[in-house]
Amino acid sequence: MNSPLLNLLWETLQWGFLPSLVLFALTWVAAKVLDNWSIVDTVWSYGFAILIALPFAVGAAASGWASLPDRWMDEPLLWLSVAMGLWSLRLGTHLAIRTFRHLGEEDGRYLKMREVHGARMPWKMAVFYFQQAIALTVLMLPFYAAGTDAEGQRAGAVHVAGLVLFLAGLAFEATGDAQLARFKADPANRSKVCDVGLWAWTRHPNYFGEFLIWLGFALLSFTPNLMGVPGLLCAGTILYLVTNVTGIPLTEQQLLTSKGDAYRDYQRRVAAFWPRPPRG
């Protein structure tokens, strides 16, 4: 296939969608046995690292590391592979610790789904897990785009900028998580809203950091023919989802229920997403 788009579609089908179907089918079986549908969140997060490792592992098993196709050893693709892999492992491990420490306690989202679907829950989850396989495949597009159109490519300024954005987003996210953990660890803050550190500049440092990370992935996936467009589409999708669908709206709805007027005052003073100095 000489067309970059056709190459991208083939690589995505071969290395992304079909393995994702197998991964989430096995996850569905495990979740049903454990009677905890929450484990899909952990598997989805680790799924990026699994799909990144797959073509390297298959290629190495078939012909040895020294004989891997040149396109898999190009600097931009290797940088992107390491960045996405580290992000995936960090997020997956964070969720795995939370999930498997309390394996008998299902996440609230899935408990609500059980109330709605009742005995049909396993089949509703089959559809939901299938949707997760599609979402994982789509968000892997930066990786497949970089791999299908990068032969002989060396890292350039755009890739350096992508790496800087990725590291900045990761640091922003990790710092926000650490600040929130310290705030919650103080018994005096039990009923308060965290408004210290990065949380004084944006109500959702984790979501803002996540967007920077995906923007970094987009730039790291830049190649001459595809121009980083698949990665930019993914970054735009992440931005839309966290600001309008599953991120900020659902999180703030829960926080308004639990914190009430204290959170309404926090909303008045602190930006929802884009960081800025807090208002008085």
46 in Cβ contact with 89 (< 8 Å): yes
Q: Please determine, for residue 250, whether its predicted confidence score (pLDDT) is greater than 60.
A: yes
What's the rounded mean pLDDT across residues 27-37?
94
pLDDT tens for residues 185-210? Answer: 999 998 899 999 999 999 999 999 99
**What pLDDT sits at residue 131?**
92
Coil/strand/helix, residue 203:
coil
Q: Two tokens at 148?
A: 């299908």
Q: Which has more pLDDT, 268 or 101? A: 268
Q: Name the CA dihedral angle for 219, 220, 224, 229, rounded to a multiple of 10 degrees.
A: -50
Distance CA 142, CA 214 (A): 9
Distance CA 222, CA 114 (A): 43
- Could you tell me how many residues make up the chain? 280
- 97-to-37, 42, 89, 103, 110 alpha-carbon distances in Å: 15, 9, 12, 10, 18
**What pLDDT sits at residue 112?**
82
Mean pLDDT lowest among 55-64, 188-197, 262-271: 55-64
Q: Which of 181, 175, 84 is nearest to 136 (CA)?
A: 84
Mean pLDDT lowest among 148-152, 171-175, 242-246: 148-152
